[in-house]
Amino acid sequence: MNNRRFSLMLVPDQGRVRSVRISAASLIACSITLLCFLSLGIWGGMQMYQADQKQMQISSLQNQIQMAQSRYAEQAGELQSRIDADRKQMAVYARDVGAIQARLARLDALGSKLVDKASLDSAEFNFGLQPAYGGPRLATSDVALEGLDLSIDRLDARLADLDVQLAAVDYLMEQKREEKAARPHAWPSEHGWLSSNYGVRADPFTGESARHNGVDIANRFGAPVLAASRGIVTFAGEMKDFGYMVEVDHGYGYVTRYGHLSSIAVHIGDEVTDGEVVGRVGSSGRSTGPHLHYEVHRFGQHMNPGKFLPRG
Ligand SMILES: [Zn+2]
């Protein structure tokens, strides 16, 4: 068997036939070697394929990890910015509370002072006392801030209450101070003398009994006519019977009228002080000679101007 030999012949299309003689042992050895190489090749290929697969799996895992990492980083960033925003909000709340407390302290002090000054019933305007508050609470999204919100609500309620109390005190004080200043009190012309009183008298034109709604102050033609108190000019022009006339609103229901003027020195809307020249004495309108017709109204009613003229 070991001595058997084989001939491998290569037969080309043309030329000599080549033959190689080979022993059976050599053929077996060659075949085994070839088989070994083939197996090695297949194994190697499989190994490479598996390595590729693993590499792909690793790459995929790496991608997933990276995505997860970036997602976590994003969430962490969001969380951080939310924490930062909350911190800022807390700082704002703290500052607001501080500012409100300072305002409150100042208003409390001012309120007490005003009550003393205005000699009001301090029981009615109790500035030290906490007012009652209640009502439905609005739901707050953040539980941690609820306490702070509540104190801000309370401070707001207290401030609103103080505002009302102070406005009332202020109003009462204004009433006392301003009404006195608004009241007509000055002689409405430079010199001159009272020539006709307020009330029923004989009409200078017809001689019949007629009501005189003001007083007449006789004066030289062109003498200054003066505002009886500070106020705002509400009429400056010509009016039937009155001739050239100026009307001044002094507030608190007081209005004065200056008639029969020869000229007007103010415009509608002008602010005048008491004693300010508003025009000149004349005889315009229903008049018999140069004089000032002076009227005082209170809340639309004629008043006796004599009561508003200075004594002496
Ligand atoms: Zn008159």
Report pLDDT digits (tens) over 63-81: 999 999 999 999 999 999 9
Q: What is the pLDDT of residue 153?
A: 78
Which residues 6+ apart lie within 8 Å of 171 measured at CB?
none
Q: What is the pLDDT of residue 93?
A: 80
210 pLDDT above the threshold of 70 = yes
Which residues 6+ apart lie within 8 Å of 150 measured at CB?
137
CA of 154 to the centre of ligand 1 (A): 62
33 pLDDT above the threshold of 80 = yes
Residue 192 C-beta-side C-alpha neighbours within 13 Å: 28
Give me the mean pLDDT over the 146-151 stretch.
71
132 pLDDT above the threshold of 70 = no
Please, which pLDDT band fits residue 140 given cuts at 50, 70 and 90? very low
Please, which pLDDT band fits residue 131 given cuts at 50, 70 and 90? very low
CA of 235 to the centre of ligand 1 (A): 18
CA of 241 to the centre of ligand 1 (A): 10
CA of 212 to the centre of ligand 1 (A): 6
The distance of Cα 138 from the centroid of its chain, to the nearest Å, equals 22
Among candidate residues 112, 229, 113, the one with its CA nearest the CA of residue 180: 229
CA of 293 to the centre of ligand 1 (A): 4
- Note the CATH number of domain 193-308: 2.70.70.10
Please, which pLDDT band fits residue 304 given cuts at 50, 70 and 90? very high
Per-residue CA distances from 212 to 23, 83, 208, 291, 294 (Å): 164, 81, 12, 14, 10
The tokens for 16 are 């000599």
pLDDT in tens, 56-65: 999 999 999 9
The tokens for 274 are 């008491």
CA of 163 to the centre of ligand 1 (A): 48
Q: What is the pLDDT of residue 52?
A: 94
Residues with CB under 5 Å of ion ligand 1 are 216, 293
The distance of Cα 279 from the centroid of its chain, to the nearest Å, equals 45
Which residues 6+ apart lie within 8 Å of 140 measured at CB?
146, 149
Q: Are strands 243-251 and 254-264 parallel, antiparallel or unpaired?
A: antiparallel
Measured distance CA(260)–CA(281) in Å, rounded: 7
Q: What is the pLDDT of residue 135?
A: 46
pLDDT in tens, 162-198: 766 666 666 666 556 677 788 999 999 999 999 999 9
Give me the mean pLDDT over the 283-296 stretch.
93
| Start-to-end CA span in the chain (Å) | 170
125 pLDDT above the threshold of 60 = no
Residue 232: burial class (beta carbons within 10 Å; 0-12, 13-18, 19+): middle
